[in-house]
Amino acid sequence: MLDAFRLASVICITCRPRTPVFCGFEHGNWANLGGEMNGGAQTRMAVVRGLRWLLLAALLPLLLAGCARVAAKIDGYMPTELVEAEVGDTVRLSMTLTNTGNRPRAFIARATVLDAQGSVVRAHETVLDPPLEAGKQTTINWDHIVRREGTYEVQFSLWRDADTVLGYMPDNARKLIAVREAEPEDPPPAAAELGIGDRVQVSAALRVRVAPGTGEREVASPYYPGSMPVGSLGTVVDGPTEADGYVWWKIDYDRGVTGWSAQDWLERRTGGG
């Protein structure tokens, strides 16, 4: 309340007319104000007081609203060390943050995953709902599924809104995920001999290459996700050819991919389909 009275005094001093014709007194005459003002001057002074308080009442909500402080900080993140995973694994990403302001706020938390070339692979985002109370801490978790082998960098960020960032951690994206291709631990027994025109089905995640051999590059196709999923169907169109300890067949897969695959993970389909 004392601050409000001080504010009213400032407003009065700032806004007070400098001629005694309006206020009925000069600056410095406060001591003799009661005895020297006539009735008309007292009336005008009362009007000035009323206007002063009306102005204060109008400005006070705006001044109080200006005291709101929106702030937050990132306290930590996980993982902090390199995590090794296989294609198809899930890596848990976490960020802990604190609302250091004085108002509840629906902050935006993000975890951005980038590949070795710096391109964004996935940007996980969570809008805090309900808003985080002032002084409170919370932890956000995301499950990131790794779909290709390689190394990946991660950076966490905290946002006041979609356009205003409050902080990053770490300051620069760090290499935190290393993914290797999953291979069957124990190769299944060799399938029965195949032949041109046979229908086949993939029994384990299987690579498709441009030519027979484990050193040949894999096919490039928008329909090829890095390996053929279990259950994928196709038709034998060429082969067999032996290379690097495997028997290879050229398969025209139903999903629009054609290339060479090792026979050990191909099963002959019978009865159509």
Q: Give me the residue spans of the domains in the chain.
A: 2-65, 72-180, 199-268
pLDDT at 165: 95
pLDDT at 19: 41
- From the candidate CATH numbers 3.90.1010.10, 1.10.1660.10, 3.40.190.290, 2.60.40.770, the one assigned to the domain spanning 72-180: 2.60.40.770
Nearest to 240 by CA among 182, 179, 198: 198
Mean pLDDT to the nearest integer, 37-46: 67
Domains 72-180 and 199-268 share a fold: no
**Whole-number Cα distances in Å, 149 to 91, 179, 227, 255, 271:** 13, 5, 11, 22, 36
- Residue 215 confidence (pLDDT) above 50: yes
What's this model's pTM, rounded to 2 decimal places? 0.48
Q: What pLDDT band is residue 45 in, cutting at 50, 70 and 90?
A: confident
Topology, domain 199-268? SH3 type barrels. (2.30.30)
More confident residue, 7 or 82: 82
pLDDT at 12: 42
- What confidence tens digit (pLDDT) does each residue in 105-161 have? 999 999 999 998 899 999 999 999 999 999 999 999 999 999 889 999 999 999 999
Percent pLDDT > 70 in the chain is 75
Structure token digits, residue 203: 């029994």
Q: What pLDDT band is residue 24 in, cutting at 50, 70 and 90?
A: very low
- CB-based contacts of 237, cutoff 8 Å, min separation 6: 196, 250, 251, 252, 258
Mean pLDDT to the nearest integer, 83-110: 95
